[in-house]
């Protein structure tokens, strides 16, 4: 189990992580979702003993990150957001070196594992390519491959598919899920909704350093009662819509506005659609477009943070 107990991290006057508490069970796969600057990487680097928490306590399998950093390092593997392979010549050597430092595999076993992972990721032909000449996506895949090959008890992937093309993303997601099936506890930090949806049983949403909500995908979506969203775009420049104009209907549970886009969480969306258009029009708003959809993780995020992903 991993426990975060009221964890905080300050950089000067900036509180990058605030009062963060969460427990992650053994064998769990959890998504840590949040916009740029939310504090995801900082939190993962504290768990990985790279940064010291300013307050609170983190334990990994019972080991306190401050008291037993070496024990923590021996069970954890982090695929970093910014891959750096200082001084190492090529992808093959990066992986072989990583396994040498983090596992007790012998030379032949390492060779086998490195070969398997490079082939699985379509990087075998490029195994000799100089690391500094690699494309962004290739570097990222090599970084992910380090942890996929290491198979640590606790595996952290920080934005594992940033820069990856679509087939590579699917492949990496698949391999991360397999790692988990083989028994690793997996934490995936991401700002991408589809990644969080594909990879997590539970999702923890972070914003401005804080945990704003956590639950299974189903639980999070259920918190938006009704299960439907009406997305309405109104003409720009008018006064802000009062929520009551729409919450007067008992079928409407919640209204969220970002600029001229209004998200109406409700049930019986199809029946309510004309009534909503009428209510808006009678208040002088010009309805430019309207469409009905199911609640997605993005709506959950919006509701909890008032922020929209780019």
What number of other Cβ atoms are within 10 A of residue 193's Cβ? 18
End-to-end Cα spacing for the chain: 33
Q: Is 129 helix (H, G, I), strand (E, B) or coil?
A: coil
**Residue 14 CB, nearest distance to Mg ion (Å)?**
15
- List, in sequence order, every beta strand (DSSP E) within 131-282: 154-158, 185-190, 202-207, 210-216, 228-234, 252-258, 261-266
- Count of H helices and E strands in the chain? 11, 14
Of residues 78 and 264, the one with the C-beta less far from Mg ion: 78
Q: Nearest residue to Mg ion, using CB? A: 41
Please report whether residue 190 would count as binding Mg ion according to CB under 5 A.
Answer: no
Please report whether residue 213 would count as binding Mg ion according to CB under 5 A.
Answer: no
Please report whether residue 303 would count as binding Mg ion according to CB under 5 A.
Answer: no
**Residue 243 CB, nearest distance to ligand ATP (Å)?**
30
Residue 11 interaction partner, one of ligand ATP, Mg ion, none, beta carbon < 5-8 Å per kind: ligand ATP
Please report whether residue 161 would count as binding Mg ion according to CB under 5 A.
Answer: no
Q: Is 169 helix (H, G, I), strand (E, B) or coil?
A: helix
Pairing outcome for strands 154-158 and 76-79: parallel
Instruction: Count residues binding ligand ATP (CB under 6 A).
Output: 13
Per-residue x/- track, 19-38, ligand ATP (CB under 6 A): ---------------x-xxx
Residue 36 interaction partner, one of Mg ion, ligand ATP, none, beta carbon < 5-8 Å per kind: ligand ATP
Interface of this chain with ligand ATP, residues 186 to 245, rule: CB under 6 A: 191
Which of 8, 12, 32, 28 is closest to 192 using CA atoms?
32
Of residues 41 and 305, the one with the C-beta less far from Mg ion: 41
């Amino acid at each position: 189990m991993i426990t975060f107990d009221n964890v905080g991290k300050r950089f000067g006057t900036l509180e990058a992580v605030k009062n963060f508490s969460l427990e992650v069970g053994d064998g769990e796969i959890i998504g840590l979702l949040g916009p740029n600057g939310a504090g995801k990487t900082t939190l993962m680097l504290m768990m990985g003993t790279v940064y010291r928490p300013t307050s609170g306590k983190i334990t990994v399998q019972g080991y306190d990150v401050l008291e037993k950093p070496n024990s923590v390092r021996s069970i954890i593997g982090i695929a970093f957001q910014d891959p750096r392979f200082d001084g190492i010549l090529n992808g093959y050597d990066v992986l072989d070196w990583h396994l040498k430092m983090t596992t007790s595999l012998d030379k032949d076993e390492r060779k086998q594992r490195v070969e398997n992972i490079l082939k699985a990721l379509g990087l075998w032909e490029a195994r000799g390519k100089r690391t500094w000449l690699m494309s962004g996506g290739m570097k990222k895949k090599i970084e992910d491959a380090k942890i996929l090959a290491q198979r640590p008890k606790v595996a952290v992937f920080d934005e594992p598919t940033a820069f990856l093309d679509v087939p590579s993303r699917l492949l990496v997601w698949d391999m991360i899920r397999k790692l988990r099936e083989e028994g690793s506890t997996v934490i995936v930090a991401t700002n991408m909704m589809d990644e969080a949806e594909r990879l997590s049983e539970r999702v923890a949403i972070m914003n401005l350093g804080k945990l704003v909500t956590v639950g299974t995908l189903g639980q999070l979506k259920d918190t938006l009662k009704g299960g439907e969203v009406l997305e309405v775009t109104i003409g720009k420049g008018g006064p802000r819509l009062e929520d009551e104009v729409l919450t007067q209907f008992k079928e409407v549970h919640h209204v969220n506005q970002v600029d001229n886009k209004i998200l109406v969480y409700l049930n019986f969306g199809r029946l309510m659609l004309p009534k909503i258009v009428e209510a808006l029009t009678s208040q002088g708003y010009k309805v430019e477009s309207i469409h009905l959809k199911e609640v997605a993780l993005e709506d959950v995020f919006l509701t909890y943070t008032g922020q929209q992903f780019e």
